[in-house]
Amino acid sequence: MPDERTRLAAFAITSAWEGGKGYANYQTYDAGIISYGRFQFTLASGSLWTVVDGYLQRSSSVIAQQLRPYADRIRARDVTLRNDPALKDLLIRAAEEDAMKDAQDAIVIDRYWNPAMSSASVRGVITSLGQALFFDMAIQHGPFHPYIQRAEAFYGVPAKSHLGDNGITEQQLIERTAIERQLFLTDFANRKNLPGVKKRGDFWVDLVDKEDWNLEGDTGGNVFVWGAPVQVKTPDSGRKEEEPGEPFSGTFTASMWVQGREEPDIHSGKTVSMVKDESIPVTRTYQPSDDEEWVKSEKGWYPTRHPTTPGIVLGELVAD
């Protein structure tokens, strides 16, 4: 079985090839109609609905409530959603929630990672490089792609036969698999005049040529996708440190002068202050205790209640 470092490294590499913008990644320029998330779940394939459904089952936030009216249209793969800015905004904001991250991860693990690791296990593939390659191919081409079996046919060994017992090594199988995939992507890139497509195939062949079987990267622990470093020796989960509180969509109106802060802490640096009756749009709320609550806007964090002013409400918070 693969270790957790290998999975995190594999996820980091493939996520970088899929756009590199993490759980909130959103684009509408290709045949997927809408492609969303760390691994680009598409409206056209129905995988976007699977993600949204998983999120709605996990979340009761304001954003989830606002997203629910879109459920039937996402399930029906409504092409007119391509040009819906409200849906785009909701999905990008939903990606701040653990519920959306969990929904995306659960689907990737169930539909792509586990099948890829099953394919690796039956053959006896144990290197981090081999397992990460299998996952990357499953994401880009689907779990039932032909490249591993083409490599086996190249060596004249039975499909899914165990390495060592079948007369070839794991290194031979992974090298030829990477080449078979590279040949396909190069041909596709030439036929479609999409030169960037072949870079993904070249990347894995290059790692094989470097014999980076443990997937440890360069001296800094990085491999490079589109020229940008991806940490593989000590990869993280891809989840940026969360801001405190919960996403919120609404307005805060000050009932008196209120000082803005860089963080929800009165000892934090000052930002723009609010005057009485001034209103600002709010994107998050945070309640660290029963008598303390903060709201966030693009101008900073503002207290609505605070222990330093007991019994005084500093403003009114209204949801959209």
- 202 belongs to a structural domain: yes
Question: Total domain count for the chain?
Answer: 2
Please identify, among 231, 265, 284, the residue that sits at the C-terminal boundary of a domain. 231
Helix axes 128-141, 114-123, angle to 10 degrees: 130
Q: Using one digit for the tens of pLDDT, what is the confidence trace for 45-94?
A: 999 999 999 999 999 898 999 999 999 999 999 999 999 999 999 999 99
Of 54, 55, 21, 27, the closest CA to residue 42 belongs to 27
- 68 belongs to a structural domain: yes
Place 241 in a pLDDT band, splitting at 50, 70 and 90: low
What is the overall mean pLDDT for the chain? Answer: 93
Please identify, among 172, 204, 231, the residue that sits at the C-terminal boundary of a domain. 231
Could you list the residue range(s) of the whole structural domain that residue 159 is in? 4-231
Whole-number Å distance between alpha carbons of 74 and 307 = 45
Whole-number Å distance between alpha carbons of 193 and 191 = 6
- 209 belongs to a structural domain: yes
> Is residue 320 classed exposed, middle or buried when 0-12, 13-18 and 19+ CB atoms within 10 A define those classes?
exposed
Q: Is 270 found in the same domain as 191? A: no
Whole-number Å distance between alpha carbons of 62 and 66 = 6
- 241 belongs to a structural domain: no
> Is residue 143 classed exposed, middle or buried when 0-12, 13-18 and 19+ CB atoms within 10 A define those classes?
middle
Q: Is 312 found in the same domain as 279? A: yes
